[in-house]
Amino acid sequence: MIDLDRDPDTCVRFDRHAVYLGTPGARQDCPATALGRTEALLVQPVSGTRDRAASTARVTRNTTDHSYRATAPGLAVTGSYGADRKTVERILTGAGLPAAGAAATPDSPAAGTRANRPAAAAALPADATSFQGKGFDRCAAPSGGQMQAWKDASPYGAVGVYIGGVNAGCGVTVDANWMQTQYDAGWKYFPVYVGPQASADAGSCGGTCDVIDDPAADGAASARDAVRAAGSLGLPAGSVLYYNMEHYDAQHGAVVTAFLESWTRTVHELGFRSGAYGSLSSLVTDLVDAAQGGGYLAPDVIDFAKWDDNATTDEPKIPAALWADHQRIKQYSGDLTQTHGGVTLNIDVDQLDVGAGGTQPPVQKDTALAWSGATTVENGAAAELGATLTEKDGGAAVTGREVALSLGSGDAAQGCTAKTDAEGRAACTVDSVKQPLTADATLPVAASFAGDDAYKASKTQATVRLQYVTGRAFGLSATVPLPLLPVTVDPTPDTGDVRSAAAATVTPACAPSVSTPVLSADALCAEVATTTGPGTATSTASVGAARIGIAGLPVVEVSGLTATSASSCAEQKGSTSLTLKIAGVVVDVPDTPDHTIDLGLARLVVNEQKRTDHGLEVTAVHLTGPTGLDVTVGAARSAAHHCAA
């Protein structure tokens, strides 16, 4: 734990474990370079009247540079994290700062040492990053007094300032006021962003650097974060933003060049120019090869490290035709301690030849959204919502953008948000679908992209199918065409046709008895029960006892009868249980379906089963004969609909 009031010259660094208390000093004693990101905290006082965000406890998380920003009455906390985000979250939560609910967004301020940094600032003049001559860079920016002393006495006219990135070890130590003041004093800038690296131990990382995971998505996300940071410091459109890529081994070359192409493309889309810093033996070699191969979008300015004490941007390993129009910086020495005007600083030194250049103003590209999520959903189950965002002209994937996705409409609408991946697809999950069943069993789905500086808004709508089930059960029905007095029994008791996408039970009142001259039955019941997750319909019919006595046929008696049919999209199954007597003799009935008994003038089927598409009809006892004789005892049917392919 370090008390900054007691040691104001301490370098506040986020590449080593530490807790800093107090306001960082204006003259931090920092090394020229500090890279990496680990768990560290800076707790500093702020004035509640000057920082409205501090009037109540509030926490945001920058997912791009791995930092938390917490404010509460009288204080501001910046927490950085490497592999152990939960520890920082736990510390903040324990202090009454709601880190667990922090919005995960790259829009939050990057981890740094300025407690009051505006989200946007008045733009500096267009030549803020144009300069020919000597410059220097260091991890933490010098104070205003130190800058003035060096302006008067040193050979330097440009200064490298770190504007953000997950691996910026000292964080961001400048604000818009500092930038404006130093520009007015005659300084120019080369802004440096230190995002994910090729490997954890690249260059000066020492094993703690965050690494590139997805080159296209990470490059675009870093570019957007850098442009936001540049805007907060007053750097105007057209400024060169330099990506710091530490020295890496040869096997990482393809990842790095893909990353920097995505960085450059996105920086251009947002109206800025792209720069890249790296070693001559790794980054520059790979960029030269890529640029000469054709079809590669190279950075506008190359900043290469070659510590030979030769202050020139000419370099034999860089073809004269590449980066030829005032598009080079050379870091020609480093880790130097120099004194000018009585002020001593540890620095790296650079030779700049950077012209005004030019970029087209950002032009929003038309976009198109297409639904790519589930086409069938089921109540009570999870559902993936998804859409793919592309450029309308050419179909290129639009990466790293937030898409809002919804299922259903009105009060029943369910939704979530997700960012597009390298293929432009955004997908998120609704944990448990809860939607009403409509007449056609379909639901509206929608996706929308709000647009940004580079891309226009777009939206799409589609329909998906909602799985549902149906069922019906009844105890008895009969058509007996007697010559003088035909007998007809409507289905009794009857659930009717049940259609549901929710959990429900339909149970009509049981019928105590049915009595006709040729048949009778007692204790007749029917039920259809539906469930969700998975959607299942279970239909059950039961009859305590039934007797069928028709002239010319043996008497048929059943007791303890139950017929069941259960259907889901996964399976359909049915069963019948009963005791059967024919002419007073108990008949052994096998468990297999469709057991048929020939009664001479009629046909008796026990456990009759008919399969339909994802459905099953079960009839416990079915007696049929000539002239339309048809008696059913115990009928149950069920089916599932809109099953996923």
Q: Provide DSSP, 296-315.
A: ----SEEEEE--SS------
Give domain limits for the chain. Answer: 2-104, 157-303+313-326, 367-466, 468-641
Q: What is the pLDDT of residue 4?
A: 64
Per residue in 44-77, pLDDT (tens digit) is 787 654 443 445 677 777 766 777 777 777 777 8
Q: At residue 542, what is the residue type?
A: S
Residue 613: pLDDT above 90? no
Q: What is the pLDDT of residues 474-508, one digit of tens each?
A: 999 999 998 888 999 999 999 999 999 999 999 99
The confidence score (pLDDT) of residue 108 equals: 35
**524 with 542: CB under 8 angstroms?**
yes
Please give the pLDDT value at position 54. 40
CATH number of 367-466: 2.60.40.10
What is the reported pLDDT for 443? Answer: 97
Q: ∠ CA(91), CA(93), CA(97), 5° rounding?
A: 115
CATH fold for domain 157-303+313-326: TIM Barrel (3.20.20)
* Nearest alpha-carbon partner for 166 in 202, 124, 118, 121: 202
The whole-number average pLDDT for the span 273-297 is 93
Closest listed residue to residue 273, CA positions, set 236, 246, 244 = 236
Examine the pLDDT at 114 and tell me if it is beyond 60.
no
Tokens of 577: 């249980």
Residue type, 262: S
Query: Counting beta carbons within 10 angstroms of the beta carbon of residue 306, is it exposed (0 to 12), middle (13 to 18) or buried (19 or more)?
Result: middle
pLDDT tens-digit readout, 287-345: 999 999 888 999 999 999 999 999 999 999 999 999 999 999 999 999 999 999 999 99
Two tokens, residue 454: 């580079």
Contact 286, 256 (CB under 8 A): yes
More confident: 359 or 130: 130
Confidence band of 103 (pLDDT split at 50, 70, 90): low
What is the residue type of 152? D
For residues 35-49, give the mean pLDDT.
69
Asked if the model's pLDDT at residue 184 lies above 80, the reply is yes
Name the token pair of 248: 């890496």
Calculate helix-pair angle for 144-153, 176-184, nearest 10 degrees.
20
Nearest residue to 640 via CA among 536, 545, 540, 485: 536
pTM above 0.85, yes or no: no
How would residue 436 be classed by pLDDT, with cut points 50, 70 and 90? very high
pLDDT, greater one: 90 or 27 = 90
The set of residues, in sequence order, having a beta carbon less than 8 Å from that of 498 and lying 6+ positions away, is: 470, 471, 472, 504, 506, 528, 530, 537, 539
pLDDT exceeds cutoff 60 at 440: yes
pLDDT of res. 31: 63
